[in-house]
Structure 1
Amino acid sequence: MQKRLVILFLLIVAFGYSNAQSTLGKPVIVEIISPKGSAFKFGVFADMKGYGIQNIQQWNNLVIVYANTTSPEQLKMHIVKDFPTDQVILFQNPFYDFNRKYCDNKTVAKQWDNIILTANLVNNPKMQQEYLNYHATQFQKWPEVSQGFCNADFQQLLVFKTGRQLMLVISIPKGESLDKLNPLTTKNNPRVDDWNNMMKKYQEGVAGTKRGETWVVFKNVNEKKFIE
């Protein structure tokens, strides 16, 4: 138990593990896919200084590093070096970026909690492009969606894509609950329901999801066991 606490302390000290948002760099996600059943060595993250890491999260055999960094490729290569037998995927340059500038109330919370989810686009290039096109014009043609995010006090919402895989980052004021805030996106706002229903046909679950399951939520690793 003491060893696990020491590792967690090192993680906090090494890269300022907090949900305060960095104003430097750009948001990126590095995903590490380990063989199922293998023991993931979280302790190696303790020496990753200077990358603006905000969160390390896990779902099944997928571990992600979410960072605001000026050196995304260097971060990826550092992780590749530490996890040479695992698959490492970089997500950068989100194709969708909501923030408070779209809201009447442009106040930004000082600290955020980042909820990160993943899903796949269906294996159909035409439908994949339709999905991207809808998001490219959403602020103009479906303004009710971003208004719903404003109503729910979302601070930022980013969607990344590498290959068919999507990463969704929903940032909310620190200490708030997504379960509490998310219903406010559709309150007196049926167009958001229309949008969500329309998007369902373009999305499917990643490997390892249950039948009928699409988006899965990563959990912060400080809720899990650290393995050395």
Structure 2
Amino acid sequence: MAYTKRFCYSCDLKDNPDLITKYKAYHSSGNAWPEITKSIKDAGIVDMQIYLTGNRMFMIMEVDDTFNPETKAEMDKNNPKVQEWETLMDTFQQRLPWAKKGEKWVEMERIFKL
């Protein structure tokens, strides 16, 4: 499936092996809440992957031309199930030191492309 744009973000997990294991379990195949995956797809995100090294995560999103980050944020804000998921995920995640107030996933700057 074609996409029009890629977004990359980073966030840290709390540096606790038990919490990291639980977070990974929530994100293993078939374990993410169906309402969450639906909200992702409904926003125009056609593929999303999260990678982990230590406690640092990298999220790669491939989106179609309907995707708008501000619209997605507003949709999430008004979706009680997404808010419940985000509250749960906050027990595992910690903000990057340079994150803006209220920002969890920080958009990454591409500095190289082959």
**How far is 1:214 from its partner?**
3.4
Deviations 1:35-89 (A, max 9, x none): xxxxxxxxxxxxxxxxxxxxxxxxxxxxxxxxxxxxxxxxxxxxxxxxxxxxxxx
Structure 1 position 214 matched with structure 2 position 109: no
Runs of 4+ in 1 over 6 A off after TM superposition: none
Aligned length: 112
For the residue of structure 1 that corresponds to 2:104, the secondary structure is coil
Counterpart contact for 1:172–1:178, Cα < 8 Å: no
Question: 2:49 maps to what in 1?
Answer: 158
Q: TM-score, normalised by structure 2?
A: 0.78
Task: Compute the displacement of 1:207 (Å).
Answer: 4.6
Q: Distance in 1 between matches of 2:43 and 2:67?
A: 11
Letter in 2 for 1:131: Y
- 1:140–1:176 Cα change, 3 Å: closer
> What TM-score do you get using the length of structure 1 for normalisation?
0.42
**Paired letter, 1:153:** G
Highest CA radius of gyration, 1 or 2? Answer: 1
Same amino acid, percent of matched pairs? 21
Structure 2 residue 12 is matched with structure 1 residue 120: yes
Question: Do the aligned partners of residues 206 and 184 (structure 1) sit closer, same or farther apart at CA in structure 2, a change above 3 Å counting?
Answer: closer
Question: Residues of 2 paired with 1:185 and 1:209: CA distance?
Answer: 19
Q: Which of the residues 17, 21, 24 maps onto 1:129?
A: 21
Deviation at 1:141, TM superposition (A): 6.1
Question: Contact conserved, 1:120 with 1:206, CA < 8 A, in 2?
Answer: yes
Q: Does residue 1:170 correspond to 2:71, yes or no?
A: no
Alignment equivalent of 1:193, drawn from 83, 87, 96 = 83
2:44 partner amino acid = D
Alpha-carbon distance change, 173 to 121 in structure 1, aligned in 2, over 3 angstroms: same
Q: Which runs of 5+ in 2 are unaligned?
A: none
Q: Distance in 2 between matches of 1:121 and 1:200?
A: 9
Q: Aligned Cα RMSD in Å?
A: 2.8
Identify if the C-alpha distance between structure 1 residues 134 and 171 changes in structure 2 by more than 3 Å, giving closer, same or farther.
same
Change (3 A) 1:186 1:214: closer
Structure 1, unpaired ranges of 5+: 1-107, 223-228
Higher relative contact order (CA 8 A, sep 6+): 2
In structure 2, the CA distance between the partners of 1:182 and 1:119, relative to structure 1 (3 Å rule), is: same
Instruction: Please state how far the C-alpha of 1:117 moved relative to its aligned partner.
Output: 0.8
